Structure 1
Amino acid sequence: MTIPAVKRELATARARPVERTAYAVAAVLLLSGLVHLGVLLASGATWEGPLSYRKAMTFGLSFGLTLATLAWATSFLRLPDRTRTFLLGAFTAVSVVEVALVTLQVWRGVPSHFNFETGFDTVVSMTLALGGAVIILTVGGFTVAALRTTSGLAPSMLLALRFGLVVLVASLAVGALMIADGVRLSRSGDPQLAYTTAGGLKPVHAVAMHAILVLPALAWLLRFTTWSERRRTRVVQAAAALYALAVLGTWLV
């Protein structure tokens, strides 16, 4: 890369206040996930079921990684400061709420999702579902911004961002389907079937969720090669096709 290009790269890398906050919160969530991994290993408790410490671990690690990834990936989008702060701030706040409530219920020894046994458990379950709706709306806002962007970004990075965000929205839609189906089954008097049914969609949900990290990271790394932008875009296109096949394969398995 040329010296002016490096300078532009460094300027882009400077995090805005809302992004710095998101990175700090993401670090705390990741730490929470690692702590619960340690608790899980040290206690010898089960890895299976809705009461396992694995759930607190998974939510901490997943939300921490996703929050940090979204803050980094969307930093390339040209957005009004207020819009960026609102969208990323809302996603950061709801990430904290989701992880905190799931962790609370794990330590209480009760399921966090599809649990309507008491008034408090019902509030927790419905808050988690509402949080999912907020997540979809915020990611949807970033996705619309990426689809509307037509200049200011290299075609390879723009393609990576669009693909990653669209697939992330698809992942969240799968998550919403899991919650809706689980609530229906739980309300009908079969909570165990609700957990089993929702669990069947976890693999595709997880794979689709991280396209927003893999594709933009690839596009960013390609910027440091001597390849032409046309060649870099073709590589990202091929990677997107392979990732789409991976998501589809996970769904069908």
Structure 2
Amino acid sequence: MTTVLATAARTGRALRPVERTAHLVGALLMLSGVLHFGVFLVDGGPWEGPVSWRKPTTFGLSFGLTLITVAWVTSYLVMSPRARAWLLGVFTADCVLEVAGITVQAWRRLPSHFNTETPSSRAIAMSLAFGGAVLVVVLTTFALVALRGRIRGPSDLALALRAGWSLLLLTLLTGVAMVAKGSILFRTESPQAAYTTAGSLKPVHGVALHAILVLPLLAVLLHQRGWPEPRRHRAIRAAVWLYAVTTAAATVISLT
């Protein structure tokens, strides 16, 4: 986050209110993840499983970092400022909804996803499912703008952004697949089967998710070091291939 803010300051671009809000909320979500890891260290209990402190920890850290990242990388997209602000605002609220639902159920010592055993748990599970659908729509919209439109910045940054958004689409697909698998198992077999096996695609899901941060950040850092654009483009192209190979390996691990 520090690098993102410093880059914006050096380019003279003031953060818009919706961006400042996204950065603040993202930082708070990450803080929530860190605090819940502290709760795990004190309270103990299993790290894996449908009821554990792992979920509020990883969801807080991952959603917070992704929110800050999306607020940054979408500033390079050529699109209506009003549309971007609206989408970013929806995404910010949705990140809070997702992390809040996971966190509440963790403190209640109940599974969050697929749990419809009580009215309150059903409401939380339905809100998480609705929030997931909103995330897919918003991030897919940003990805289509990046892949089909113009990007502000040099060619190496454009390549990094398009590769990052492409891998983020893979993240969305794997997320939808895990939710669909869990829902089917919950109805046709048992809740335990859903909780145990629905997350089989988590390795590829997690690896592909953060390409949207790693690749553009590498492009910005190389630019700050004064590398000429042709050299940066070659380096980013190699990084994209390396990240693709890593994602493929994570996919094999997930499937086997």
TM-score (norm 1): 0.93
Separation in 1, partners of 2:143, 2:12: 20
Indicate if the aligned counterparts of 1:12 and 1:76 stay in contact, CA closer than 8 A: no
Separation in 1, partners of 2:140, 2:183: 24
Deviations 1:100-150 (A, max 9, x none): 011011111110001121222222112211111111111111112212333
Counterpart in the other structure of 1:81: 81
Counterpart in the other structure of 1:28: 28
Give the paired residue count. 248
Letter in 2 for 1:191: P
Separation in 2, partners of 1:63, 1:8: 21
Deviates more, 1:197-206 or 1:24-33: 197-206
Counterpart in the other structure of 1:178: 178
Letter in 1 for 2:19: E
Separation in 2, partners of 1:104, 1:178: 21
Separation in 2, partners of 1:110, 1:150: 45
Indicate if the aligned counterparts of 1:56 and 1:102 stay in contact, CA closer than 8 A: yes
Letter in 1 for 2:173: A
Q: CA deviation at 1:50?
A: 0.9
Deviates more, 1:190-199 or 1:235-244: 190-199
Counterpart in the other structure of 2:3: none
Counterpart in the other structure of 2:192: 192
Q: CA deviation at 1:81?
A: 1.5
Counterpart in the other structure of 1:3: none
RMSD: 1.8
Deviates more, 1:85-94 or 1:227-236: 227-236
Q: CA deviation at 1:43?
A: 1.0
TM-score (norm 2): 0.92
Counterpart in the other structure of 1:239: 239
Counterpart in the other structure of 2:132: 132
Please give the residue correspondences for 1:203-222 in structure 2 after superposition, counting only pairs within 5 Å.
203-222=203-222
Deviates more, 1:141-150 or 1:201-210: 141-150
Q: CA deviation at 1:12?
A: 5.2
Gap runs ≥5 in structure 1: 1-5
Q: Percent identity?
A: 50
Q: CA deviation at 1:169?
A: 1.4
Separation in 1, partners of 2:7, 2:26: 27
Indicate if the aligned counterparts of 2:66 and 2:210 stay in contact, CA closer than 8 A: yes
Gap runs ≥5 in structure 2: 1-5
